[in-house]
Amino acid sequence: MRKPVAMITGASRGIGRGIAIELAKHGYDIVGTATRLTPEDREKGLFEVKDRVESYAVNFVPVAGDISDPDARKRVLHEAFSAFGRIDVLVNNAGVGLIKRLDILETTEESYDRVMNINLKGPFFLSQAVANQMIRQVKQGTEYAPSIIFITSISSHTASPSRAEYCVSKAGLSMTAQNLAVRLAEFGINVYDIRPGIISTDMTAAVTEKYDKLIEEGLLLQKRWGTPEDVGKAVAAIAEGYFEYATGAVIEVGGGFGVLRL
C-alpha cells in the first residue's frame, strides 16, 4: 500500500516542524515548504527537518517559495505534484507574527497588508488550488480520503488590540476553513480548523516572561506551555481518520484556554 502524502507549509521550524515529524511517525511522505532553502545547514531549517523525517523511513521533499506570491505558489505546487503526483493532506501552517505590536488605533497599512497576504491570502488560494486537485483525485478514485487542515490560532476568536491585524488574519482563515468544509463535503474531502494556544516556538520567545506569568496565574487549565508536538498529534489524529465524521470541526490545542469559567 502506498504511503499517503502530506504537504505542510512553514515546515522548517516551530509548529510546522512538529507536524512534519509527527506525520512521519505515522508513515506519511511529506512535502515541506519554507521561504528559502539552506541545504548546507543541517542544524536548523528544512534540511534538519528532512533528516529527522527521513529517519522514519519516509520521504521528505523540501520546496522553497512564498505562498503569498502567485507565481511562487504555482511553482511550489508544481514541485509537490511532480514529486508525488498527489496531495492527500494539506496542512496550512505557514504564517507570520507582527514586526512590531501596535495599538489598533496606530496599526499601519504596511503591517496589515503583510500579515494578511501571508497569513490569509496565501493559504486561501493555495487551498483553492489543492482542493481542485483533490477533487480530481477523488473522481479518479483514491484509496485515501483527502483532507485540508488549517492551523489558525486562539486569536481567531480572542481579541488582542495590540496585534489586531494578526487576529483578523486568523479569524479570516477560520472562516476560510468553514467555507471550504461546506463546499468540499460533496466530494468527501474534510476540512478542519486547529487553533493552537500558547505554543513554545521562536515566534513566542519574545513574550515568554509575559505568558509564564499568565499561565502561573491560571490563564490555562493545564498549567504549561503547549509544544509543536501537541499540535502535531492533533494533525496526525485528523489525518489518520479519527475525526472522519467531523468535517468543519474546530479543535483547540490550548490547554483549556477556551473553557468559560466563573
Burial 10-44 (b: 16+ CB within 10 A, else e): bbbbbbbbbbbbbbbebebbbbbbbbebbeeeeee
Contact 46, 20 (CB under 8 A): no
> What is the C-alpha to C-alpha distance for residues 249 and 257, in angstroms, rounded to an integer?
17
> What is the C-alpha to C-alpha distance for residues 96 and 106, in angstroms, rounded to an integer?
19
Q: Which of 166, 192, 242, 245 is catalytic?
A: 166
**124: Cα separation from own chain's centroid:** 12
> What is the C-alpha to C-alpha distance for residues 147 and 185, in angstroms, rounded to an integer?
10
56 is a catalytic site residue? no
142 Rama sector, left if φ>0, alpha if ψ -120 to 50, beta otherwise: beta
Residues 6+ apart with CB under 8 A from 101: 162, 163
Per-residue cell: 65: 517559495
Query: Could you tell me which of 201, 197, 186 has the C-alpha nearest to residue 234?
Result: 197
Residues 6+ apart with CB under 8 A from 2: 143
Query: Could you tell me which of 243, 260, 152, 232 has the C-alpha nearest to residue 197?
Result: 152
248 Rama sector, left if φ>0, alpha if ψ -120 to 50, beta otherwise: left
Give me the active site residues, please.
Answer: 166
